[in-house]
Structure 1
């Protein structure tokens, strides 16, 4: 083969190699410079309540106070929601110490005031929920089987919140039924301000071992959201409710009661979370009589969306039906999937 023919064969392969190298995608990265001079590269994940979450390849997600940011440049589009109703999407850039958003070629660069930004890459409406299942089986001298199944869901927007829960318990020992109860609740909250809201709630309980064919509690109220962030949440509620008990054997009854409630959540560590929901119904016509329900849970993350759930439900009736104890405690260990 002559040198000329070798050159002719080499040129096409060289062209193909250069072309392939030219179309290799470049790795996009956002850049963040803090007022203290620290420089971070990675990607903007989200921001809310004055904290920006920035993902870095070497430290994972990092939470940064937005007022500590001196400069930010993003290679990908982000969505900014302002304190009003305005929503803009585009790339963040910094020019002459002014952070701007390139929303469109027509609009051009829009100066950004961090104090007016409500959130970044956080939808105004989102769903959160979980399902969990636990059970035991014992064979030998004693035949014992128990099952506990539950589900919780919440839809949250800027103006309202809708939540529901369901819990079913079943147990038998030596072929005899020892536990079977079903509990469900619905609640709608409408926020008049960022913290203060009105509510309408509904609860139902069926438990033959409490002589309850169906207990129904429904009524309005008001609430105040003291805290609500990724680490902690606490809400206090008060209202009135219509309380009705359809009994299996005893006499049916209904009355008007007050409603006091508290909902708490605490992310103790990245892998351990505590939740608690307390409801107290003091009777208005009979001072000293009340019904109480407290449901607490401790969740240990197993990775991904899975966790172990250790829960305890305490129910108390200060004036129960004949031959019915005042207190009921149910403790269960379940496998939970969150979505």
Structure 2
């Protein structure tokens, strides 16, 4: 009998402790109340444009339309950007429909006094936990580096190596892009491919979508007789999309092209430039499709035309590592004497990306 009573007590105590744990978890959860009366608990991850990403234990990450929210409450301070571009770190509390109370000063900055608070319309909360290019605070560094190659031995000894990388620094008003690619190949001890290409481009955003840019590209290709080709110019662009899952910009401008050849006569000419860069997450968001092309058309002669394209897919492996397959095509309207107009390559590689 005594053991039964003790057992019942343990069951009661255990149930009481579990209830306290559940209440504690509930109390620590962020809460969103919609205009239709639904209440969602979980964690506010971010707000970009008119969508809030909310993490729930039962449905994962969900998106909620901001205009459908009646009240919102967060337990922890979040990085908030207001419509007047003020950036603060504050918890959010809604005591009235369509309004929010925020802290205008942090507790540690006002010793022995309470932080100042202010009630504002929910519509004044422009971003929550936004990236630097949206909030204007800090720099968002992203990029990737890829390595590919092969070694064969036997009747023919061949070695190929390709290394390429890109790094992008993004702030509210600027974007700096630096990229480089190196290709090497040998066959029976003789070089069969030897080229390098590097570029730098600085964008200055004059609105949310429009920007002006300055660019410079250096290229060397021994087997196309190019000792050094320099392309320098300015222009403008339009950022159609700029999101983690979708990016697209279109730009055009003027470039001045200078080419120093190993054997042929050097040349230089003005040109018009057109470029597109596009990438999008597909197949559930794990695989990335990408396409880039750049076209330069000589203003002195239509035959002085150049085109560079690459199209491919990146597949995730583990964490930030990925595998890729891409098709590159370079075309020159007037190549050096004895050289072909088209160079193409199907490339397989392994890469690492960061963001």
1:182 aligns with 2:196: yes
Query: Quick one: which of 321, 331, 352 aligns to 1:306?
Result: 321
How far has the Cα of 1:108 moved from its partner?
1.7
Q: Normalized per residue, which structure has more strand?
A: 1
Deviates more, 1:82-91 or 1:248-257: 82-91
Indicate the residue corresponding to 1:333 in structure 2.
Answer: 348
Separation of aligned partners in 2, 1:156 and 1:170: 32
Indicate the residue corresponding to 1:108 in structure 2.
Answer: 117
Query: Quick one: which of 230, 233, 247 aligns to 1:233?
Result: 247
Please, which runs of 5 or more residues in structure 1 have no aligned partner? 1-21
Contact 1:142 1:173 in 2 (8 A): yes
1:114-153, Cα deviation, whole Å (9 max, x unpaired): 2x33321123331111111111122222222111111111
Contact 1:92 1:99 in 2 (8 A): no
1:282-314, Cα deviation, whole Å (9 max, x unpaired): 010113431111122311112311111212221
Separation of aligned partners in 1, 2:159 and 2:196: 17
- TM normalised by structure 1 equals 0.88
Query: Quick one: which of 277, 284, 289 aligns to 2:299?
Result: 284
| CA RMSD across the alignment | 2.0
Indicate the residue corresponding to 2:140 in structure 1.
Answer: 126
- TM normalised by structure 2 equals 0.84
How far has the Cα of 1:274 moved from its partner?
1.4
How far has the Cα of 1:266 moved from its partner?
1.4
1:62 aligns with 2:76: no
How far has the Cα of 1:60 moved from its partner?
2.6
1:232-287, Cα deviation, whole Å (9 max, x unpaired): 22211111111011111111111111111111121123111112221111010113
Please, which runs of 5 or more residues in structure 2 have no aligned partner? 1-19, 106-113
Indicate the residue corresponding to 1:256 in structure 2.
Answer: 270
Indicate the residue corresponding to 2:211 in structure 1.
Answer: 197
Indicate the residue corresponding to 1:3 in structure 2.
Answer: none
Q: Which runs of 4+ in 1 moved over 6 A?
A: none
Indicate the residue corresponding to 2:8 in structure 1.
Answer: none
Contact 1:169 1:182 in 2 (8 A): yes
Indicate the residue corresponding to 2:160 in structure 1.
Answer: 146
Contact 1:90 1:101 in 2 (8 A): no
Matched residue pairs, number? Answer: 316
Indicate the residue corresponding to 1:7 in structure 2.
Answer: none
Query: Quick one: which of 163, 172, 182 aligns to 2:177?
Result: 163
How far has the Cα of 1:222 moved from its partner?
0.8
Separation of aligned partners in 2, 1:301 and 1:36: 40
In structure 2, the CA distance between the partners of 1:178 and 1:93, relative to structure 1 (3 Å rule), is same
Query: Quick one: which of 323, 328, 336 aligns to 2:338?
Result: 323
Indicate the residue corresponding to 1:81 in structure 2.
Answer: 81
Indicate the SS of the match to 1:67.
Answer: helix
In structure 2, the CA distance between the partners of 1:183 and 1:101, relative to structure 1 (3 Å rule), is farther
1:198-236, Cα deviation, whole Å (9 max, x unpaired): 100111111101101111100111111122223322211
Contact 2:71 2:96 in 1 (8 A): no
1:45 aligns with 2:53: no
Deviates more, 1:201-210 or 1:227-236: 227-236
Separation of aligned partners in 1, 2:189 and 2:34: 67
Query: What does residue range 201-212 of structure 1 map to in structure 2 within 5 Å?
Result: 201-212=215-226
1:99 aligns with 2:108: no
Separation of aligned partners in 1, 2:349 and 2:121: 47
Separation of aligned partners in 1, 2:101 and 2:259: 59
